[in-house]
Structure 1
Amino acid sequence: MAITSDLRDDGIRVVTMEHPPVNALTVQGWYDVAAALDEAATDLDTKVVVLRAEGRGFNAGVDIKEMQHTTGFDALIGANKGCFAAFKAVYECAVPVVAAVNGFCLGGGVGLVGNADCVVASDDAFFGVPEVKQGALGAATHMARLVPQHMMRTLYFTARTIKAQDLVQFGSVLEVVPRAELDDAALRVATDIAAHDTRVIRAAKECLNGIDPIDVNKSYRFEQGFTMELNLAGVSDELRDQFAGTDKAKR
């Protein structure tokens, strides 16, 4: 697994997630994403961040298999705290974050993108929060930043996905381009941002966060409380076993 962070000469920092086969991040992976964004926030040479991924899709959320092969609740608590740290780092990054989304963006991926400042996507990109299938709740806070309220509820309750092209009408996705052009599209937006005085842009980021009507950090932590309840009730473990193809009774 690799989370890389490269600062270009023009002040654009490119943070890349690469964790085959589907970019479902381990507990450490979420903390690594958070660390990369925190580094960008404190580095005054960084003017804007492009958050992207290599591989089949942008992000498939939490590594369910890691959770199911760990006894007790350590992996669950680690995933909760790691996701919270990563989402918070994107939202509170001192410079704008441009998300470049390819392929699938599910669960935790929506948490990252929903907290980004600008989203561009490839024509094969789609978004979803299939948490109900695994007995978890979360990222509704962030999906609600991408689609209207009733659409968010429909996607959440049904575990359906929505194409990137359908998000353009809501203004949450700036543009959809062929996959081969995705990085260039993200860099074009980032270049426009980097062209301005970074002192003003950093002030603008703090200002816009300050007038946000929803406290995304508190809202997401509220969701995580229900995930813990479902885990304590045994519901989540049962559904994750089905998803991961494991049977703890046989181990």
Structure 2
Amino acid sequence: MRYETILYEKDETDSFATITMNRPDKMNAMNKAMVREINAAVAEAARDPKVNALVLVGAGRTFSAGYDLQGADYDVDIETWQDDMSENAEALLNIWRAPIPVIASVHGYALAGALEMMMACDLTVAADTAKFGEPEVRHNSGPPSLMMPWLMASRDVRWLMYTGDLVDADEALRMHLVNKVVPEAELAAATDKLARKLARMPVPAIKYAKASINNQQVAAGMLASFQYNVGAISALHVSTKGREWMANLATMSLKEYPAFRDGPFEGFDI
């Protein structure tokens, strides 16, 4: 398949592939085309008997700033929001469902929807300079999925989801958001080593181990929590305050909007 917003490359010597989000001029912000192409590439890797592991990275100076907020029509009804968020949530779940291990290799920022995507991966290796967070709570929004409570302690989940604060790589490691932190200059090499290790593992062992781990989360109610979250955040977006914030987003540039959104919280970090 030909891709426009991502690169899909298979390694020449080991049985793994790499998906590179390739909109570096937009900080790899995920528009609908990218969401659908990542989804298609994950399916392509899952079908390929010569791909035993998958790596997800971002081109340029960052992993991804999250969903592309520019140019969308935000004055829509709840059904439209539910359709949009359901598509995004399903694409994230397809990463989680893939029968092969998926590694996120994170440098720069992993924010909002990109953080959700990172959490849908099985493992994360992060640069020591990386930053993580759900800043969309500050503009009366929320993530399309609810993966965070399945990875982290409730206290840490509430901190990130209530404050919109960004955390550095060491704090992300403490929170169990990531598995390993390495110097930024060593990130590519560390990711490569992990991908090659997983590519050489016995395929059935990881496939069935992943299926069992995922089943534990399903049995505990993860899919129901995803469905609830889609409905809750869709309702949030069409609330009076939600519509006000979305209207601001539609009229401001992406350079203006963060300052407008984050200004009231300056000086309150602890």
Query: Same fold by TM-score, threshold 0.5 exceeded?
Result: yes
Give the letter aligned to residue 83 of structure 1. N
Pair 1:194-2:214 in alignment: no
Say whether residues 1:102 and 2:84 are aligned partners: no
Q: Tell me if structure 2 keeps the 8 A contact 1:50–1:190.
A: yes
Provide closer, same or farther for how the CA distance between residues 216 and 115 of structure 1 changes in structure 2, counting only shifts above 3 A. Answer: farther
Pick aligned residue for 1:228 from 218, 227, 234: 234
Aligned with 2:71: secondary structure? helix
CA distance in 1, matches of 2:252, 2:186: 39
* Alignment partner of 1:85 is 2:93: no
Residue segments in structure 1 that go unaligned for 5+ positions in a row: none
Deviation at 1:75, TM superposition (A): 7.1
* Residue segments in structure 2 that go unaligned for 5+ positions in a row: 254-270
- Pick aligned residue for 1:218 from 219, 224, 240: 224
2:9 matched to 1:3?
A: no
Segment of structure 1 superposing worse, 87-96 or 171-180: 171-180
Amino acid at match of 1:204: A
1:51 to 2:53 alignment: no
Assess, with a 3 A threshold, how the Cα gap between structure 1 residues 181 and 60 changes in structure 2: closer, same or farther.
same
- CA offset at residue 231 of structure 1? 2.5
Q: Secondary structure at the match of 1:162?
A: strand
Q: Which residue of 1 aligns with 2:183?
A: 178
Once structures 1 and 2 are overlaid, which stretch shifts more, 128-137 or 230-239?
Answer: 230-239
SS of the aligned residue for 1:39 comes to helix
Preserved CA contact (<8 Å) 2:138 2:163 = no
Give the aligned CA root-mean-square deviation in angstroms: 2.3
CA displacement at 1:104 relative to structure 2? 0.9
CA distance in 1, matches of 2:112, 2:56: 16
Code of the aligned partner of 2:10: L
Q: 1:88 to 1:235 in 2, by over 3 A?
A: same
Moved more, 139-148 or 18-27: 139-148
Paired residue for 2:148, among 114, 131, 143? 143
TM-score scaled by length of structure 1: 0.87
Contact persistence 2:109–2:131 (CA under 8 A)? yes
- The answer to whether the 8 Å contact 1:98/1:120 transfers is yes
How many residues align? The count is: 246
Is this contact kept in 1: 2:75–2:246, CA < 8 A? no
Q: Separation in 2 of the partners of 1:142 and 1:96?
A: 17
* Structure 1 position 215, deviation (Å): 4.1
1:94-122 alpha-carbon deviations (Å, 9 max, x no partner): 10001101111111111111111111001
The answer to whether the Cα contact below 8 Å between 2:156 and 2:175 also exists between their aligned partners in 1 is no
Counterpart in 2 of 1:14? 18
> What SS does the corresponding residue of 1:64 show, helix, strand or coil?
coil
Partner of 2:258: none
Partner of 2:245: 239
Work out the percentage of aligned pairs sharing the same amino acid.
26
Summarize deviations over 1:62-108 as a string: whole Å, max 9, x none. Answer: 2111324x663597456413321321111001100011011111111
Q: Match for residue 212 of structure 2? A: 207
Instruction: Find the residue that maps to 1:124 and give its secondary structure.
Output: coil
Q: Distance in 1 between the 2:168 and 2:84 partners?
A: 27
Deviation at 1:47, TM superposition (A): 0.5
Q: TM-score, normalised by structure 2?
A: 0.82
Q: Distance in 1 between matches of 2:22 and 2:105?
A: 14
Distance in 1 between the 2:107 and 2:202 partners?
A: 30
Runs of 4+ with deviation above 6 angstroms: none
Could you say what secondary structure the match of 1:141 adopts? Answer: coil
Secondary structure at 1:99 match in 2: strand
CA contact (8 A) 2:144 2:233 kept: no
